[in-house]
Amino acid sequence: MEAVKVFVLTVIVFGALIFVHELGHFLACRIFGVKVNEFAIGMGPKLISFKGKKSSTVYSIRVLPIGGFNNIEEEIPGQKSGKESGEENIQGEAFPFGNPESDPTAVTAEIKKGQYTFSSRPVWQRMIIIVAGAAMNLLLGFLLMTIVVLRTDNYASTTIYSFYDVESGAEISEFSGLKSGDEILKVGKRRVHTGDELVYAVFADGAQNLDITVLRDGQKIVIEDVTFPTGNEAGIIYGIRNFIVYAEEKNFVNTVKQAYFGSISSMTQVFDSLKGLITCKYGIQHISGPIGIGEVIGQAAKLGIDSLLMISVLLSMNLGIFNLLPIPGLDGGKFVFLAIEGIRRKPLPRQIEENATMVGMMLLFALIIVVAFKDIFTLAR
C-alpha cells in the first residue's frame, strides 16, 4: 500500500511539472498564432482525449505517465510559406486565439499557406516558444518557494547567534576567527543573503578552507582560512554548519527577499550538480532518475507538506534548467539551432538538425536506462 501511495504521489508531482512545462509552449504558441494539433500529458496510447470546439486542438492524457508534448502544426512537406522549407517539426503545440474562420475548409486552406505553422513565424518568436516551457517551470519553482516561505514561522538571517561543537553539541563562544554577532556576507566566492543560502554555501564549499567576509561593528572584514567540520556521504565530502543564526522579522520585504533568494539558491544547487557531473565530482551513483526521485518524494511526503514542496521546487527548477541545456533533442538544443538560423539568415539543412537530434536523443535515452537500472539496483539492496 505504501508503494502505491508513493507511485501515485510521484505521478501527480511529475504530471504537474510536465503539465506546466507543456502549458508554457502551448500558451506561447497561442500568443504567436501557431496551431497546435495535440496537447498531450504522458506518452503511449491515449487514455482520455477530447477536441476543442474552436481551436480543433486535441487534448489528451496518455497511458505512460512520463513526459508530454505539444504537436505543433508544421509546413506540408515540399511546400514553402514565404520562408525556406526544412524546419524541424518540433514537439510543442498551440493555436491562435479562436478560429479565424467558421468554415473548416477555409481554415485548412490558410494552414496550407503556412499562416499558422511554426516555421512561418520569425526566429525570435520561435525562440520564445521553445524556451517558454522551461520558463514556466522556473516560474512554478518561484511560486512554490514563495508558498514555502509564507508557511515558515521564522526567517533565518545571516547573522551568527552562537556556535556549537558538532560532536558534543556544547556551545562555543567563537570559531576559527568568527564571532557571535558577525553578519556573514560571503562564504568563499558565494554571496549570501539568507540563512538558507548560508547553510548551502557551507555545505557545498565547506570541505576546504574558506575566506569568510563578515560585517562586524559596521566594518566589512575578511576572516581567512575558516575550517568548518565536514561529513562524508557516498564519497562526497561536505561542510557542516556549526552555528545558529538570528531570526528575521516576518514582513513583506523579508518575505520577498527569502522567496527570491531561496529560488536563486535552488537554481544554484541545480547548476552545481550539473557542474559536478561535468567535472566528474559526481558519478553515476549520485544521479537519480524517476524511480530514485520517486523514493525521495515519498520520504519528503512523510516529513510533511513543506518538505514535499521543497522537493517540488528543486524538481521544477531542475526540469527547467535541464531542458535549456544546449543538447540536441532538448529545448536548449532547438534554441541553439534557431540562434544559428538567426545568424545565418536561413535554417540549417534539415538532415543536419535531424541527425544531431537523433544522436542527442539516443544518448539521453541511454542515460535514462542506465540510471533506471541503478535506481532499481539501489532499491533492491
Q: How far apart are CA 366 and CA 381, in angstroms?
A: 23
pLDDT score of 343: 92
- Cell numbers 520585504 correspond to what residue? 253
- The alpha-helical segments, DSSP class H, found in the chain are 2-32, 104-112, 123-151, 195-205, 252-278, 290-303, 305-323, 331-344, 350-380
pLDDT score of 177: 87
- Cell numbers 536506462 correspond to what residue? 369
Outline which parts of the chain fall under CATH 2.30.42: 154-249
Q: How far apart are CA 204 and CA 240, in angstroms?
A: 9
Confidence band of 31 (pLDDT split at 50, 70, 90): very high
pLDDT score of 191: 95
Asked if 269 and 200 count as a contact pair (C-beta separation under 8 A), the reply is yes
Q: How far apart are CA 251 and CA 110, in angstroms?
A: 54
Total residue length of the chain:
381
Asked if 94 and 70 count as a contact pair (C-beta separation under 8 A), the reply is yes
Asked if 226 and 211 count as a contact pair (C-beta separation under 8 A), the reply is yes
CA dihedral 11, 17, 22, 27 (to 10 degrees): 130
User: Environment class of residue 206 by beta-carbon count within 10 Å: exposed (0-12), middle (13-18) or buried (19+)?
Assistant: buried
Output the pTM of the full model.
Answer: 0.82
Confidence band of 381 (pLDDT split at 50, 70, 90): low
Asked if 265 and 152 count as a contact pair (C-beta separation under 8 A), the reply is no
Asked if 193 and 290 count as a contact pair (C-beta separation under 8 A), the reply is no
Given a cut of 80, whether residue 371 has pLDDT beyond it is: no
Q: How does DSSP assign 34-62, residue by residue?
A: --EEEEEEEEEEEEEEEE-TTT--EEEEE
Protein fold of 154-249: Pdz3 Domain (2.30.42)
Mean pLDDT (whole number) for 60-83: 69
- Provide the sign of the torsion angle of the four alpha carbons 288, 294, 298, 300, taken in this order: positive
Q: Which of 30, 23, 35 lies closest to 117, judged by CA?
A: 35
- Cell numbers 495535440 correspond to what residue? 38
Query: What are phi and psi for residue 37, nearest 5 degrees?
Result: -80, -35
Beta carbons within 10 angstroms of residue 34's beta carbon: 29
pLDDT score of 378: 64
pLDDT in tens, 279-332: 877 766 667 766 777 778 888 888 888 889 999 999 999 999 999 999 898 999
